[in-house]
Amino acid sequence: MNTFSRLLFRTATHQTTSLRHTIILSTTTRKMTTGSFRYLDPASLSESVKPWAKVDTDVTSYTRTTRQRPVSDLRSASALFSSPPKSFGTDVDVSGFAVYHHPSVTQESEFFTASADAVRGPRDGGYYSEVEQLLRAKIRGIKKVVIFDHTIRRHDKSSPRQPVQQVHVDQTPGAAAARVRRHLPPGEATEQLLQGRYQIINVWRPIGHPATDFPLAVIDWRTISPSDLVAVDLLYPLRNREGGDNEDRGKEILPDPDKAASTEGYEVKGETYGILPNDAHRLYYVKDMTPEEVMFIKCFDSRSQYVPGGRQGVAACTPHTAFVDPQTPEGTKGRQSIEVRCLVFYEDSE
């Protein structure tokens, strides 16, 4: 068990018991659905081999197990489970996620251009600039934002990036620190910034039409246990090196299905948390979330409650996944979405 997990264990039981009591009292007034959720199967893990997953195809070293779970609609739940008032679902430090109404000026067609630069945009424009402005508007004390990549997902057989149907957290604490060292521009006081408060926040938005198909579900971080978290290596394909940027975004291709099980031609470039099943998990989604709405998903926070020097009650991370809502009408358009991953640094007082 790593340092993050050991610290998380100390107070997880108290937090979960308190939240569960609140939710039980409110079950008759919130809107819900039920979904099948895919977790990492503990029976498939080996003590001698670290689990891994490929980013460009649904191939892993482990198997998954499915659990049926109730899912609360945040449109009704956010008004019920607020402590302080109106903070649940609107303050990323409370539950690990937040949802806002914030239309984008970027056109749908611009998200699907051949070059990732069209999404990044120029220094003072483009969708990346929109995301940074939104972060600064909704979260106080931000000193610096570095957006290091994005992924566009489409529920379409021709798309190399599909909605992910496995409960996970995008980065482990070690991967978060590695991202800071990898992506800060030369000359930055990297080690100094690592001593202050920093986060990784995934900014998620549907594209073109509501995300009724394969909606995104999030787990309130106060209902997870440290033993639920399993570090998984992310394998990226070795390609697109000629230009020297060493990035795959906007250049993805469908992998060769005959070589899917092989790790040849791949390298480890990240680490995520796979999540083990736990009946204590409480899940939420935004039913029919529209392109005018955006969700912040916290992946890491160096000042969360369960790291050295952290703050009581500050969310650590947010397990999340796509799922099939049985209430989805037949013929619904396939989901299209963009997630933008951001390093967020804070003023010294935060």
How large is the average pLDDT for residues 186-201? 92
Strand pairing report for 198-206 and 293-301: antiparallel
Write down the pLDDT at residue 88: 72
Residue 189 DSSP symbol: -
Write down the pLDDT at residue 87: 67
Name the residue with higher pLDDT: 231 or 248: 231
Residue at 284 is within a domain: yes
Percent of the chain's residues with pLDDT above 70: 80
How large is the average pLDDT for residues 303-320? 91
Predicted confidence (pLDDT) at residue 194 exceeds the cutoff of 70: yes
Write down the pLDDT at residue 216: 97
Residue at 254 is within a domain: no
Write down the pLDDT at residue 25: 32
Q: Is the peptide bond before 84 cis (omega within 30 degrees of 0)?
A: yes
Predicted confidence (pLDDT) at residue 79 exceeds the cutoff of 60: no
Residue at 200 is within a domain: yes
Name the residue with higher pLDDT: 320 or 241: 320
Write down the pLDDT at residue 28: 40
Residue at 252 is within a domain: no
pTM recorded for the entire structure: 0.83
- Output the CA torsion sign for 188, 190, 191, 195: positive
pLDDT band at 102 (very low <50, low <70, confident <90, very high): very high
Each residue of 68-106: b (16+ CB within 10 Å) or e? Answer: ebebbbbbebbebbbeeeebbbbbbbbbbbbbeebebeb
Q: CB atoms < 10 A from the CB of 124, how many?
A: 6
pLDDT band at 57 (very low <50, low <70, confident <90, very high): confident
Residue at 289 is within a domain: yes
Name the residue with higher pLDDT: 284 or 119: 284
Write down the pLDDT at residue 22: 33
Quote the number of domains for the chain. 1
Residue at 247 is within a domain: no
Beta strands across the sheet bearing 97-101 = 97-101, 293-301, 198-206, 336-346, 142-154
User: What would the pLDDT profile of 19-33 be if each residue is shown by its tens digit?
Assistant: 433 333 334 456 899
Residues 164, 323: Cα–Cα separation, whole Å: 8
Predicted confidence (pLDDT) at residue 4 exceeds the cutoff of 90: no
Among 148, 138, 149, which Cα is nearest to 296's? Answer: 138
Predicted confidence (pLDDT) at residue 168 exceeds the cutoff of 90: yes
How large is the average pLDDT for residues 316-332? 95
SS3 272: strand
Place of tokens 């948390």: 273
Residue at 253 is within a domain: no
**H helices then E strands: how many in the chain?**
8, 14
Which residues span the domain enclosing 303?
3-238+259-326+333-346
Residue at 244 is within a domain: no
How large is the average pLDDT for residues 220-236? 93
